[in-house]
Amino acid sequence: MFPFDVPIIPAAEASAAEQRAFLMAIASTIDEFRQSLEQLEDMERGVKATLAAVKYPVLTLPNEITSRIFVGCLPNDGHVLPSPSAAPLLLAQICQHWREVALSTCQLWSSLHQHGSADGSVLLLETWSTRAKGQPLLLTLSGCGHKRRHESIRTISSQLGELELLGVPCEQVKQLPPFPNLRRLEFDNGEYSTQEATLLTEGDVLHLLNNTPRLQKLTLFTLSVRAIPSLASLTSLEVTQATELTTFLHVLTQIPLLSHVSFSLKPTTEVRLASPPITLPQLRSLVLKQQYTEDVSGYTITHALALLTLPNLKRLCTDRTLDSGVILSLVSRSSCTLDYLDVDFRGCSPEQHLECLRAFPSLTTLHISLGLDVQENNDLLISLKSTLPTMLPQLQTMSIFISEHTMDYILLIQMLQSRRALHAAALRSFQLKLEEVYNPDCNYLSSEPWPPRIFEGEELARIVAAGLEFSIDYNGTVWP
């Protein structure tokens, strides 16, 4: 146990002389221990001095650069679920210098996702609020939280800039305080519904909206006509539950400042079109989806677009097959210039593809879904290659979704090479998404070669090396 020989304690019957000799031996041993301790302390000070002189390259970065790197460690979706093994908590545990930088970077603490009634959730909320130093907070609440959670939220209500309520029990929602500076609100008890998280009544929704006087962006699971008067200041509205077309149109007429709209519409085949189109001069982004039916045609979306005039529309997204004439009519009537188009081309002929795309020479982003007809898909690739530079001359980003692996890689390579040769506006990003589906006629899954064969892979690799951001997603497997 000891590095020195410790004298043996004499027996109780030892003489006084033997006891005094033992004390002298103990004193000598203590002196040796003190000398050794001083030597160890000198060694300790020397090692500390040596380590203090070491400059790790990462610690020589300016604090501003380190801070930006820290912010880049946050989740891509911007939602921070606190964990000691992930940013930002992890960054504050590495060393004193990093802790100081992390605690002084308020952007690291401007987002917090609280799930359920986890231990310490109230303390975390208070900690995040303090470290954000007045920075507007994005707070996500999901599930049934601690009974004191709404009390903590009340203390920081004026600091909240964004609030997401996902599957939060109605009784807890009703206890929320006013949010004088809230700009974005997402409330969804549909997809996240539980026995405790039932849908709010219309009165509850009105109460919630009336307590957010500066609200600009709103996402709801469902929207009633009664709530519309409380939404007049909105610039962005998204409704996830399928809505009647008449309600959708009424909403648009009552909220004139909308610049972004996303709705899911209930299927319908008969709508009166006698009314003149609604003009929305502020609307720049429109996303229309149709509730699932076996019929892939977008009858309801067709009716909706026929009743709109959107002179400043820039971004149009639909998830159902539309006749090209529907889109062309909207663009012609509105005199708008689209630069972003996400459209379903399944069931359309190559002539309809081309007719539609020729109408948008200013498109910079194009996302299209194609059907199972291999020849029609190949014809589209050939057209995109051979009609340059008149076909989509400004295109920068493109993705193609095919519901079966039926891609001709050679044609794809030729199309990409041609578009990359447009130096003024060369294609910068391309994604191909393939989804293998069951073929009932052949009783097997399609068995096209995957991944691309050696020659095709080498050609694609050259295009990537030349600067194209490229990927193929095949049933969740990404290549290269």
Whether residue 387 sits in one domain with residue 296 = no
Q: Evaluate if residue 165 carries a pLDDT over 80.
A: yes
Roughly what angle, to the nearest 10 degrees, separates helices 324-334 and 350-358?
Answer: 10
135-140 average pLDDT score: 92
The string of pLDDT tens digits covering residues 365-387 is 999 888 767 777 777 777 777 76
**Residue 87 belongs to a domain:** no
Do both 372 and 420 map to the same domain?
Answer: yes
Same structural domain for residues 267 and 333? yes
The 10s digit of each residue's pLDDT in 222-265 is: 887 777 877 888 999 999 888 888 889 888 988 889 999 999 99
* pLDDT tens digits, 304-313: 898 999 999 9
Round to the nearest angstrom and report the end-to-end CA distance of the chain: 61
pLDDT value for 215: 93
pLDDT at 447 over 60: no
> Do the beta carbons of residue 370 and residue 346 sit within 8 Å?
yes
Amino acid at 75: P
Q: Which of 65-69, 144-148, 196-200 has the lowest mean pLDDT?
A: 196-200
Residues 362 and 473 in one domain: yes
> pLDDT of 257-297, one tens digit each?
999 999 999 887 655 555 788 899 999 999 999 887 666 56
- Specify whether 377 is located in the same domain as 298: no
Q: Which of 306, 338, 370 is the last residue of a domain?
A: 338
Q: Has residue 193 been placed in a domain? A: no
Q: How far lies 406's CA from each of 101, 353, 379, 433, 474, in Å?
A: 52, 18, 13, 11, 11
- Do 395 and 326 belong together in one domain? no
In a domain, 191, yes or no: no
Higher pLDDT, 42 or 54: 42
Domain with 50, as residue range(s), is 16-54
Tell me the longest C-alpha to C-alpha distance in the chain.
124
Are 291 and 403 within one domain?
no
Residue 77 lies in a domain: no
Is residue 66 domain-resident? no
The answer to whether residues 359 and 281 belong to one domain is no
Q: From 338, 368, 394, give the residue that closes a domain.
A: 338
**pTM score of the predicted model:** 0.78
Q: Are residues 315 and 353 in the same domain?
A: no
Quick one: 306 and 361 in the same domain? Answer: no
Amino acid identity, position 103: L
In a domain, 84, yes or no: no
Q: Who's near 164: CB < 8 A, 6+ residues apart?
A: 138, 139, 140, 141, 185, 186, 187, 188
> What is the predicted pLDDT for the residue at 446?
45
Distance (Å, whole) CA 257 – CA 235: 5
Number of domains, the chain = 3
Taking the C-alpha atoms of residue 228 and residue 222, their distance in angstroms, rounded to an integer, is 12
Contact 282, 256 (CB under 8 A): yes
In a domain, 23, yes or no: yes
380 and 257 in one domain? no
Return the pLDDT at 271: 55
Check whether residue 447 and residue 345 sit in a common domain: yes
Q: Does 423 have pLDDT greater than 90? A: no
- The pLDDT tens digits of the residues spanning 68-112 come to 999 999 998 878 988 889 999 999 998 889 999 999 999 999 999
Final residue before a domain boundary, out of 281, 312, 338: 338
The pLDDT value given to residue 445: 43
The overall average pLDDT reported for the chain is 82
221 assigned to some structural domain: no
